[in-house]
Amino acid sequence: MPLASSHILYSFRRCPYAMRARLALRYAGVRVELREVVLRDKPAEMLAASPKATVPVLCLTDGKVLEESLDIMRWALAQSDPDGWLVQGTAGEGEALITRNDDPFKHLLDRYKYANRHPEKSMQAWRDEAVELHIAPLEQRLLAARHLLGEKVALADMALLPFVRQFALVDPDWFDGGDTPAFPALHDWLARLTGTALFAKVMQKQLPWKQGAEAVFF
Ligand SMILES: N[C@@H](CCC(=O)N[C@@H](CS)C(=O)NCC(=O)O)C(=O)O
């Protein structure tokens, strides 16, 4: 494959994995060509670079391909990490949160979100499990500090943010809880991190990419 003149990110606006990759790339100030993908009609160019066929995929100008969102985040922060996302917390603490998020919590989140496809438990029972596993422990951390690993934003905050947002949006009335949210510290953390210019930027709408279309830079 010919080497490209800029890095290329295959992405899908609402995918939480692609969102975390875009958050890190934008924060690090890495310029990429953004190619919005339609998941049921993925471009041949993306599939040729990454037969695994999930977004995000980052194709670097040196020919390397990163096809895991966390690899893209870490690569972006290795280019530039102005606020020290990589240096918060103790070794392993952030990794443990991300592992719990990406594996058992994501599993429960999908069941809570699409409870009609998983009738072996009620929607509320899926939610209760997700709360016990992940949401309540995150609340405990945020009662102690402004972010998950301490006062400052860490990689773990941004890696978890799109998934916690998805959890909140399944039933916003329940999550927002009127005047008193069930998880006030998490509610506040989510509002703060989604209220930033960075978040607004990564959620900008894009038309799906087609070969020959004018490149969109991000
Ligand atoms: N472990 C991957 C997971 C990526 C993933 O599952 N992305 C979903 C969209 S949110 C996807 O592309 N699924 C394939 C499809 O829907 O065809 C990562 O962290 O990048």
Ligand 1 in reach of 19 Cβ (< 6 A): no
Look up residue 215 and give its two tokens: 């490149």
CATH number at residue 187: 1.20.1050.10
Same domain, 35 and 117: no
Q: From the CA of 17, how far away is ligand 1's center (Å)?
A: 7
Ligand 1 in reach of 6 Cβ (< 6 A): no
Angle in degrees, 0-180, between the axes of helices 155-170 and 106-113, rounded to the nearest 10: 20
104, part of any domain: yes
Confidence of residue 5 (pLDDT cuts 50, 70, 90): confident
CA distance 70 to 62: 19
pLDDT for residue 2: 60
pLDDT tens, residue by residue, 162-183:
999 999 999 999 999 978 999 9
Same domain, 105 and 11: no
Look up residue 102 and give its two tokens: 């990406």
**Cα 164–Cα 114–Cα 66 angle in degrees, nearest 5:** 55
218, part of any domain: no
Ligand 1 in reach of 110 Cβ (< 6 A): no
CA distance 159 to 23: 9
Look up residue 67 and give its two tokens: 């096809």
From the alpha carbon of 72, which atom of ligand 1 is closest?
20
In the 8-state DSSP scheme, what is residue 45?
A: H
pLDDT tens, residue by residue, 136-153:
999 999 999 999 999 999
Same domain, 145 and 59: no
pTM of the model: 0.97
214, part of any domain: no
Same domain, 77 and 110: no
Indicate if the pLDDT at residue 12 is higher than 80. Answer: yes
pLDDT tens, residue by residue, 67-105:
999 999 999 999 999 999 999 998 899 999 999 999 999
Domain that holds residue 111: 85-196
Number of domains in the chain: 2
pLDDT for residue 178: 79
